[in-house]
Structure 1
């Protein structure tokens, strides 16, 4: 074999081995960080599944750096005086992400996973930047004043990830409507997280329900979880739950345009994660007695239901007034 062909073969094999190692590390990350997401990812074809793991690994690593956690759980204690401030943590995320997008090795398999993903899919730097903007909002201790502010936050921290997921599944950049609806699913999921985690967020000094909503309900700042305000809080939470259902309905229209296994996986996730907001709304004032979760039996039922829906006709639903393009324009106007 000529020397140049041998060298090319070695480089090619090295690239395959490197990718395999990144996929293995990403799979370990998703199994450790999200059992539900790991289970749903198995419904994809192999190529899509591996790319989903790569995307998850990067998102998880960014979250962990931002919140000083390990796969969503408290990280090991650090020496007094060595903790980074939020802006420094954000700078770390940005630096590693920029290196990965430039094709450089970062020393972190999770960030290298993003670089690998961008070589394989139409994920763009602009898509990545929209996700990073969400971490910037949290680093700045930002709070939503209006409903539009809340939706903008949901767009950055979850809707933009939905857009990246759509790109991973092969949705082209020119298919604006399907990308909008992929974004809508992420927004629906984040609204579910917001209503579920009201108590947990309050304990961490955060509140993602709009200030204007709380003012309308006569709930003073910083007192959202006080027992005597729970009755006033429930209608505001129900309002967010109704919005989540509207965004989820829009997303299901986009899911119908995907290949069957992709459609099944997305609809399974919509059933499982959408079930959070539906359960919070059903429980009313008791929604925060215990953290709302979806049990294994219900998850399996949701997956089975998604299979039938994936084989059925495409649903019909309007897009919400504020979807990807509107929220993206709003975000850029406020930067």
Structure 2
């Protein structure tokens, strides 16, 4: 059977803070729009246990904030389709084509807000122990290790925040950090360094893990002396960066060697009518607030482009 073709003005790909913000602005502008998200709306925000740096909320959980964003977008009239995966995109013509499992969409403009996924630990046994002691989401999997010893690999805000969160379950959290410093916010660093349940191992890097059916030990290597040793842990949570979800766009969009989409300050890519917003975009800082700002600018830029397209008809 041939797929139904749907003609719309704006397609938003991705339902994290950037995509949902774009949907809010597009809905207020009364654009014929669709937001596609092949997973749960909210993106990585849903994996945050506590958020204390989003204006207007002294403290809010990630799922709560994501739900509020979704609710606001839908109440303004945003059309959202979850779990319909994109198969192909074609940005070669003036009309942008997005084919999903169910439909073929033809849009005047597109906002790419696909975000990024956690980067896997670069160790030989990652695949063998994935989900069996190696994890990348403390909120999702932390409760599995009540009273256990958990290692956290990383040195940025995500690693610091997740280590703090994991102390709710673990008897001990060991932070494995290849350098002798952290890159996160001072408040997070102070909380980690002063938490009696957290042990910080500076100048150590994870080499591999081993165990029978599940992780039992982590092999670490000192970055100064190259000395290797084993430490007993029940799980290893990796927070060593993210990988942008841009593979399907590489044929059409200018992308950095790291995989991030290049835009100007108006979120415009090298293709007319295609914009990028949020963690998928090449930029210095990746925060919820910067994703929301990107989504705002992308939607306003797309609206202006669509209005100009209408005038040409």
What TM-score do you get using the length of structure 1 for normalisation?
Answer: 0.26
| Higher RCO by CA contacts (8 Å cutoff, separation 6 or greater) | 2
Q: Which has the higher strand share?
A: 2
What TM-score do you get using the length of structure 2 for normalisation?
Answer: 0.27
Q: Which has the higher helix share?
A: 1
